[in-house]
Amino acid sequence: MHPPFHFFYGSSPWHYYLTQAIPILCGPCLPFVLHGAWLCARGDAGAKGRTVLWVVAWTTGVYSLAGHKEWRFLHPILPLLHLLAAKSVVDLYHKHLPSTSRTKPNTRLPIRKIHLTFLFLSVPIGIYAARFHAHAQISVLRYLRGLPEEELKSVGFLMPCHSTPGQAYLHRSMEEGRLWALGCEPPVGIPAQDLRAYRDQTDVFYASPIEYLTTRFPPVVDTTFPPSPFPRSLPGTPASAMEIPPWRHEWPSHLVFFDALLQHKGVEGLLKKIGYAEVWKAGNWLEEDWRRRGGVRVWRFIKEHK
């Protein structure tokens, strides 16, 4: 990420990957990763073990030089971290074997029961992450994908950008402007000293949702659901710290948003007044971002405003 963009999206201390990212990625196997790294450093795993350790250290060190850091950036070295953990687990198993058993054929898994029990602590974490965490953002796309084409004429996502996987799950061919979501465009062309004043589309919307809905949408719903003329900025468009782009929307047949949006004064009343009603919802579990709390809601245009 080219500076100063990486500072705009947040910066972390130099030790972030060591003190936060690697512990998150490794979970309960972190002690074994550290022990395996020590074994490789002193040469117990030979040249190949040192190569694995060097790649992990080099990658972590290079990424630590950047101001903007995310633990997902280290995903490519996760298999190598598991190799370090495996080296530790196997060596500890053989270390505690009786000397008379080391020469006998062994068909058992080379891991001590206490270590296996400890590693199994990651199973409930994995189940939660795979099946429950943020599941509503996936389920809503399955719901939309199952709607008949004559019913799902257009859809707008009033959510922070990247809240759902989009077409990776939806698989619907729609005309430009009939499928849109709020954007989070990078501050292209803005000097570093003006970055603090820059606001992307998501920032503008959540600063005052009711103002955005009343000034950038028409007062009534066009029941032909035409494409929105300018629902988001084009990628790579030079931005401005002082001027807000003239985003313009048409009301879609379906709106998707988090329940937190309805907590803003006037939003729920406005949507009901112009003819929208809730047709689907799914709850969410833990969520740090207040804008994504309360689960996902789908509201559909039901009746014309009179």
> What tokens appear for 128 in the block?
């939660």
Residue type, 42: R
Task: Look over the chain and give the mean of its residue pLDDT values, rounded to a whole number.
Answer: 88
Single-letter residue type at 132: F
Asked whether residue 193 carries a pLDDT value surpassing 90, the answer given is no
pLDDT computed for residue 198 by the predictor: 81
Q: Which residue has the higher pLDDT, 193 or 270?
A: 270
Question: Looking at residue 102, what is its pLDDT?
Answer: 53
Is 104 a residue whose pLDDT tops 60? no
- Kindly report which listed range (142-146, 156-160, 164-168, 239-243) carries the lowest average pLDDT score: 239-243
pLDDT level of residue 114 (50, 70, 90 thresholds) = confident
| 237-257 residue pLDDT tens | 666 655 778 899 999 999 999
pLDDT at 8 > cutoff 60: yes
pTM above 0.85, yes or no: no
Phi, psi of 258 (to 5 degrees): -85, 155
Lowest mean pLDDT among 39-53, 87-101, 229-243, 255-269: 229-243
pLDDT level of residue 19 (50, 70, 90 thresholds): very high
Task: Give the C-alpha separation, 138 to 94, whole Å.
Answer: 44
